[in-house]
Amino acid sequence: MAQSPRSQSACESERGHSRHRGYALRRRQLAHYAFMALTIFASQRKLQIWCESLKIESSHARAILMGWHLLRLSGKAMQSQDLNHPHVLSVTRTLRLKVKSEAYAWLNAAAWEVNQVWNWAAQVSEKAARPCTGEPKWLTGFDLNNLSSGASEHFEKIGADTIQRVNGEYAQKRRIAKRYRLRWRRSRGPRRSLGWLPFKAASLKRKGCAVRFCGKTFRVFEPERLEGVRWKQGCFAQDAVGSWWLCLPVEGTG
């Protein structure tokens, strides 16, 4: 019996759908086998050699290697962590304690001396990086410390530890900015720089309800926050209002 055109078209469409389903199944199987082969090759560290032996294009080889690295990272992230040994993270936070106004005159004078050291480091570093004759040299914090040895005798407020901190901070900021010279620190005028007095951790001592630095005693608000605290190198910083703050980085577990 001859089939109608409609039934013939339905049979052809059904056969086409079955072929497409078969193709999709084969593609999934091939993808699975390719993934397993990639895993085996990569686990044996032969993936790059395999790509070179088949003369795969460099862009395709990089794509395969990148895909494998992503798979490895995702696998490591999905691994179960040991709950009996939780990881303890060390978090650094900064204590900001306001200094009482009786020490503002001393801090302003010390900040002026810090600005002089900063400007000296800027001038010396620029001359060394762009000399008139000879090879240029990029000065580090260690080089600036050697050049400024003995300079504490010419300052009344700050000592050698503060000078070394200023030199190290300038060298680090200059290396990050990749510039011959950073901006000058101005001590007067409408565009003056806010006061800044860095120090090392050993230079600041606790004395009762106050702290002592460079032979000067500073009283702060909320001194009980310093109980049982071990601080790192910090600074005295001035805000736009003119108040001074003691900034102490401390470590804690989180």
To the nearest whole number, what is the mean pLDDT of the chain?
A: 79
> Can you name the residues that pair with 94 across neighbouring β-strands?
249
Return d(Cα 143, Cα 167) in angstroms, integer: 9
Tally Cβ neighbours within 10 Å of residue 115: 20
pLDDT in tens, 103-125: 999 999 999 999 999 999 999 99
Tell me which residue of 213, 186, 233, 221 sits closest to 107, measured CA to CA: 213
Nearest Cα neighbor of 205 from 193, 216, 191 is: 216
Q: What is the DSSP track for 155-171?
A: -SS--HHHHHHHHHHHH
Average pLDDT over residues 196-210: 91
User: How far apart (Å, rounded) are the C-alpha atoms in residues 193 and 141?
Assistant: 22
Segment 163-176, tens digit of pLDDT: 999 999 999 999 99
- Contacts made by residues 206-212, CB under 8 angstroms, sequence distance 24+: 211/246
How many other CB atoms sit within 10 Å of the CB of residue 61? 17
3 state SS for 92-154: EEEEEEEECHHHHHHHHHHHHHHHHHHHHHHHHHHHHHCCCCCCCCCCCHHHHHHHCCCHHHH
For the full predicted model, state whether its pTM sits above 0.75: no
Q: What would the mean pLDDT of 24-42 be, rounded to a whole number?
A: 59
3-state secondary structure of 26: helix
For 134-174, what is each residue's pLDDT tens digit? 899 999 999 999 999 999 999 999 999 999 999 999 999 99
Residue 59's pLDDT is 54
